[in-house]
Amino acid sequence: MIFIKRYDTISLLIRAKIQIMNAIPSRRNHKMNRFIFSFFFVFLAAQGSFQVALGAIPAAQRNALIDLYNHTGGSSWTVNTNWLGPAGTEHAWHGITCDSGNNHVIEIDLHANNLSGALPDSIGDLTELIILKLYGNDITGSIPITINALTNLTYLAVSDNRLSGTIPTGIGTLLNLTYLSISNNRISGNIPSSISSLTNLTDLWLDSNELGGSIPSGIGGLTELRSLALSGNQLNDEIPVLIGSLINLQYLSLDNNELTGGIPAEIGNLTGLTYLSLSDNQLTGTIPDDIGNLENLTILLISNNQLQGRIPEELKLLTSLIDNRSDFRYNNFSTTVSDALRTFLSRKQTGGDWETTQGAGNPAPTPSAQDDDDSSCFFRAAT
């Protein structure tokens, strides 16, 4: 489709063509007509006298964007430049990226943009979407079940909102997802077992919600995971042994839940771990000797549990632990340890004193190294 802009120039050219054609014998008109039309086209292109519409997104995708605008207070967004412009301009709307031909919406990035309200079901019509960033807003309501239609998604971040309801079981259809963050919302219910189908995931953030039930053992099959954050929920039951299969894991936070049972020895398989937090649960038993395999660990938080027995000498092998950042307090550990281990633990313990709180029970959560730790920011910065 060609849209003409310089009408005076066009009129002059048309009149010139007519005059030329009248002066040329009819038998030569056809050949000359093609020549003049080619000249006409090239001249206009050189003068910038027309625009070519490369394409337009499907009506369903445009309507989905308009629904998103209307459902989340678009007129009050921090930035809403060009939104609701005419068809064919969607690629210029703030936060919207289309493919090279402007045929489909492939990215929505409206993070920290004052969106307020519920997400429309029509978001499922954006079937070519690859990246969806809506974190840091005031979005309410539930995650639409129609999200299962977004099978091209690789990146989904809706953290730091006020979403409620449950995680749709259909999320397991998003097989291309590599990054999923629903942190810091009000999501309840169980972690759906279908999440174990997302084998391309490298980062899974479900922390600071109201999730209950057990940790699905199928999570152990997500072997590409670098970060797994499930802290600040109401998860119960034991830590699944298969978590030891996550050999690429660097960040694991399971603190502030209601987890029971022991620390699986298989955690010793996670030799790439730099951050491990199991604090503020109801864990029992002893620290497995295998934890000494975690030579890259920089922070270890196991306070406020019911752990007991001897602290293994293997902890001295954790030479990467940062001084004054780990926490072993409020358990039932024996304080009869070697002088070398006592010195090591005191140096790594936040505040230096890990001994006097042993046998003090499991009090209400108290400030610990995790409260001012910024390790999570390292991974979530990608959002």
- Residue 22 has a pLDDT of 52
CA distance 267 to 55: 53
- Based on the domain organization, do 183 and 226 belong to the same domain? yes
Domain with 184, as residue range(s), is: 59-380
- Based on the domain organization, do 19 and 103 belong to the same domain? no
- Based on the domain organization, do 232 and 371 belong to the same domain? yes
CA distance 180 to 8: 55
Q: Give how many domains the chain has, as a whole number.
A: 2
- Based on the domain organization, do 107 and 162 belong to the same domain? yes
- Residue 361 has a pLDDT of 58
- Based on the domain organization, do 19 and 114 belong to the same domain? no
- Based on the domain organization, do 48 and 75 belong to the same domain? no
Question: What is the biggest distance separating any 2 CA atoms in the chain, rounded to whole angstroms?
Answer: 113
Q: Which among 52, 73, 90 is the end of a domain?
A: 52
pLDDT tens, residue by residue, 184-243:
999 999 999 999 999 999 999 999 999 999 999 999 999 999 999 999 999 999 999 999
Residue 339's φ and ψ, nearest 5 degrees, are -60, -35
- Average pLDDT rounded to a whole number, residues 171-191: 98
Positive or negative CA dihedral for 113, 56, 98, 134? positive
pLDDT tens, residue by residue, 250-260:
999 999 999 99
- Based on the domain organization, do 84 and 192 belong to the same domain? yes
pLDDT tens, residue by residue, 72-110:
999 999 999 999 999 999 999 999 999 999 999 999 999
- Based on the domain organization, do 15 and 148 belong to the same domain? no
User: Can you give the CATH number for the domain in which 146 is found?
Assistant: 3.80.10.10
- Average pLDDT rounded to a whole number, residues 112-135: 98
Q: Provide, rounded to the nearest whole percent, the portion of the chain with pLDDT above 70.
A: 79
- Based on the domain organization, do 169 and 281 belong to the same domain? yes
- Based on the domain organization, do 165 and 242 belong to the same domain? yes
- Based on the domain organization, do 17 and 160 belong to the same domain? no
- Based on the domain organization, do 341 and 194 belong to the same domain? yes
pLDDT band at 40 (very low <50, low <70, confident <90, very high): very low
